[in-house]
Structure 1
Amino acid sequence: MLKMRNLHDFDLPNDGEISLCEINGRVHSMNHDYTNVSAFTTTVDNHPKVHITRDLLHPLSSGDEGKALFLPVNISFLKQLTQVYCEQGFIEALHTASSHNQLLISSSASIILDVLKYIRKVRLVLNPNLKYSGPVIIKDFSQTRNWQSFTIRCIAWHLYETKVAVVTCDDSVRIFSGDSSIITPLLRCKQQKHITSIAWRPLSNTEIAVGHENGIIIWNVDANSLVTRPSVSNALMLSRDDHRPVMSIAWSPKGDKLVSAAACDNTILVWDVELDKTSSLKRPAGSGNVLVKWSPSGEKLFSCSDGLVFRVWDCRNWECERWTVLSGRVQSACWSNCGNTLLFASNTEPIIYGVMIKNDLVFKNDSDSSSNQALPLFETSKIEIDGVIVGGLVQCLESDPKGKHLAVLFQDTNLVAVFNIIRHPTLQLIASSLVIGMAEEQPSTISFLQQFEAGACLTIGWSSGRIQYYPIIYTDLSCNLNYTEQLDSRLYSSSRITPF
């Protein structure tokens, strides 16, 4: 049995330099004061240049600022109660009613508040996550590093155009295009609070789903419109009372279904968006779900709970195969382009695992667990390379659309690791490059460009608000259809990884 590979296989750029691109397996870097990826390749010259500084963000408001402009007046109790109900909701209206000297109404409101308090205590016993606020839960389960404090929270590339949606910490979604003459739409409304995920709808040029604490908003963004801030009338609101905070959303490859996972709901919802109807996928395990990923073929759906259990669903009959990790929970996962390989990492082990899912073995019966086992592919324990700390627990995994590369974002170290994925003769991860940012920058989120003919293009959102493109180029695609299988074949062809 061969020793598992680790981060010692990587090389850092020269001191003072940062990695800019990879061309035919060779990493090119340049001094951080003179970074210019165009010196090596022009493939990203037409990509939007994005750097969102703090002064471009919208200040977070409580909605009470305008009240200071008006003098207080005496209004009737009923009118005051109606106003509180309309502005702050039912619970605040009960508190207002209980504090007045209206005997019948005040005593009734106090009784209702006491009943609601005991109901909440019972719910807390059944679901401990409810005692935490939404932002705290999102921070704990998010795929984004330092979700609360970093400027960029999510990145999503359009499936058919060079267009990217960027979520910032002011709960805004900005859509940047490669054509500088096109305006930059800003998607923002008061219902859209604490955004967790975004996803463009397949087979559509204009629709994008935004998952947030209290539900999902489907925006319709017309590329030909001259309006920089589309109205909420162009949006479709989807929500369910017990399905929150929404942590992850995923469109089916045909765009006809949208699935969502919520941290305080152990039911996964499958939405018929146009009809605002849902179907439920529910199995006992944990108190909520934190991640869903649809396979590229649309035949399988990955979901993981906030506990040991994760599942692979057969989308033809919605039967599931149950898996468990040794400890903690699955932190992040991604599918290969063929839909037969699942890579994942837990929040307690610095190891990337792989699962080979074979169509002729999985879902043949109703057994609770498959006889297959996950393969430990790569150890990511923290090490020091030339004085720089690299690795640790994984925050996020992303694979490119062609299934040849894996990008890894770590929880508390400041480099992004890029691997080559080899599936033959055995599933392997081969160290490729380490991407480091400017001074004091930390990576917050990663994503791959969906359409990139020259190879693959990794997109990194940095804590400064800067977005970096890291292209991985194959100059002769006709001779490199099996690029990853050919990498150092003499060195790796004899290696095997034994299931644990």
Structure 2
Amino acid sequence: MRTLYDFQAPTDGEVTLCEVDGRIHSANFEFTNVNIFTNSLENYPQIHIMKDSLYSNKLGDDAKELFISVEIPFLKQLVQIYYEQGYVEMLQAAASHRKFLISNLASILLKTINGFDNIRTIFNPTFKQSRTKIITKISLTRNWVNSPIRCIAWHPDYVKIAVGICDDTVKIYQKNSTLIPILKCKQQKNITCIKWRPMSDSEIAVACEECIIIWNVDPHSVVTRPSVSNAIILQRNNHQPIVSIAWSPHGDMLASVAAQDSVILVWDVEFNRTSSLKRPGCSGNSLLQWAPNGKKLFSATTTLVFRVWECQTWKAERWNVLTDRVQAASWSPCGSTLLFSTTQEPIIYALSFIKSDFIFAHDFSSSPNAAIPLYDVSKVDIEGIIIGGIIQNMDWDPAGNHLAVIFADTSYVAVFSVILDPVLQLNPRYSFTIGLK
């Protein structure tokens, strides 16, 4: 198995900028200008995010001290706590109140809820953790909780990019436009991922901790703050925190998974209706990837198990990894090959499919019950530069020529050239830095 030693060390003080006609171009990091080598990016949007956008604007206890306290009726207090913090906090407030009947009833309900939660944590340990910690652990973004940019998404058909920022806003940058639409509403808290809807130039799904918001952003509108009336809010009880979503290739279905919910939901967006993909077990889910040909759907749980669903019969093939869980996965453009990595092994694995049958092709002489270890990306020191380690995320480009890999502990991106036929191969292409750790 090949290793990252096959990569060439980046020149000291330089950063890789682009590949033009098969040739890789680099420049000093202080004088980077892609336009020196190609003019294909001249009309691409320039992204500038102000520093004041990098801080959350949530109303905390310090801000509440600025207001004069007033006497609020007890029942009104409970209603207010319910809408602002949830039913558990409401019951805790009621239990601590002096009203005998209400406080006793609230205490009994709290004990009952805690009992059910204790039973659920036996089967799904993620229930013990706060949602923010769960998202940070599962997210494809490195150090999600402290990252100023939570996620990005390029439109598959237009020069347009959506950027999710830590202040719970999404900004849309597009070609030849100085207008930057800003998407924000009170339900949009703790953005986890963003996906443009296929076959549409205006619809984008924003996955948050408690819901999914489908925004309709008219590319010809001069309004920079679209109203929530232009959005569809998809929400279900216990389907939280939502950590991954995936559109079907034709954009007619949207699938979502939550870290504390064992059910995979498939949404009919326009009618706000869902179908459930149920399977045995009480573990939550962490990742979804729809095959580009629409025939298969990959889903990973928060445990050792992952599945590949056949989208006509919705039957699933179950697989296990050796330790922990799947962290990242990516389909080939033809949908015949799936690459994935785990949270414990610095190895890229491959699963291949033969024709349209639900049969897995593997190593030429090995058992059909194992994936192929394709590339070892363990940490290496190349002329003083550390690259590699556990994979944070990977993405296969739509043309199928390149695979980009980012790592959890090092700041270089490894880019591979991909050969599918006659045998799947990953060949080192180049690496470039994404900033200091």
Give the TM-score normalised by the residue count of structure 2.
Answer: 0.93
Give the unaligned 5+ runs of structure 2: 361-366
Pair 1:441 & 2:436 matched: yes
% identical equivalent positions: 52
Q: Which residue of 2 aligns with 1:313?
A: 309
Pair 1:77 & 2:74 matched: yes
Q: Which residue of 2 aligns with 1:451?
A: none
Give the unaligned 5+ runs of structure 1: 365-369, 443-500
The letter of the residue matching 1:415 is: Y
Structure-2 change in CA distance of 1:339 and 1:82 (3 Å): closer
Structure-2 change in CA distance of 1:81 and 1:10 (3 Å): closer
- Distance in 2, matches of 1:101 and 1:430, equals 70
Contact 2:169-2:182 within 8 A present in 1 as well: yes
Q: Which residue of 2 aligns with 1:242?
A: 238
Structure-2 change in CA distance of 1:43 and 1:67 (3 Å): same
- Distance in 1, matches of 2:128 and 2:317, equals 31
Q: Which residue of 2 aligns with 1:431?
A: 428
Q: Which residue of 2 aligns with 1:484?
A: none
Structure-2 change in CA distance of 1:111 and 1:315 (3 Å): same
The letter of the residue matching 1:5 is: R
Q: Which residue of 2 aligns with 1:340?
A: 336
TM-fit CA distance, 1:171: 1.8
| Number of aligned positions between the proteins | 431
TM-fit CA distance, 1:113: 2.3
More deviation, 265-274/285-294: 285-294
The letter of the residue matching 1:230 is: P
TM-fit CA distance, 1:111: 2.3
* 1:155-174 mapped onto 2 (5 Å cutoff): 155-174=152-171
- Distance in 2, matches of 1:53 and 1:12, equals 33
Q: Which residue of 1 aligns with 2:375?
A: 378
The letter of the residue matching 1:142 is: S
Pair 1:50 & 2:47 matched: yes
Pair 1:413 & 2:423 matched: no
Q: Which residue of 1 aligns with 2:352?
A: 356
Aligned with 1:72: secondary structure?
Answer: coil
Aligned with 1:136: secondary structure?
Answer: helix
Deviations 1:281-337 (A, max 9, x none): 122256111111111110111111122221111101111112222222211110111
- Distance in 2, matches of 1:104 and 1:53, equals 52
The letter of the residue matching 2:180 is: T
Q: Which residue of 2 aligns with 1:123?
A: 120
Q: Which residue of 1 aligns with 2:321?
A: 325
Contact 1:247-1:262 within 8 A present in 2 as well: yes
The letter of the residue matching 1:11 is: Q
Q: Which residue of 1 aligns with 2:216?
A: 220
* 1:172-251 mapped onto 2 (5 Å cutoff): 172-181=169-178, 183-251=179-247
Aligned with 2:428: secondary structure?
Answer: strand
More deviation, 31-40/54-63: 54-63
Contact 1:285-1:307 within 8 A present in 2 as well: no
- Distance in 2, matches of 1:79 and 1:379, equals 60
Aligned with 1:123: secondary structure?
Answer: helix
Deviations 1:17-72 (A, max 9, x none): 11011123321101111111111111111111113243333533136666445433
Contact 2:353-2:359 within 8 A present in 1 as well: no
**Which among 70, 78, 103 is matched to residue 106 of structure 1?**
103
**Which among 288, 291, 294 is matched to residue 292 of structure 1?**
288
TM-fit CA distance, 1:86: 4.3
TM-fit CA distance, 1:9: 1.1
More deviation, 273-282/76-85: 76-85
**Which among 139, 142, 149 is matched to residue 142 of structure 1?**
139
Aligned with 2:90: secondary structure?
Answer: helix
Aligned with 2:17: secondary structure?
Answer: strand
Aligned Cα root-mean-square deviation (Å): 2.0
- Distance in 1, matches of 2:282 and 2:96, equals 39
Give the TM-score normalised by the residue count of structure 1.
Answer: 0.82
**Which among 275, 279, 298 is matched to residue 279 of structure 1?**
275
- Distance in 2, matches of 1:187 and 1:330, equals 31
Q: Which residue of 2 aligns with 1:151?
A: 148
Contact 1:54-1:151 within 8 A present in 2 as well: no
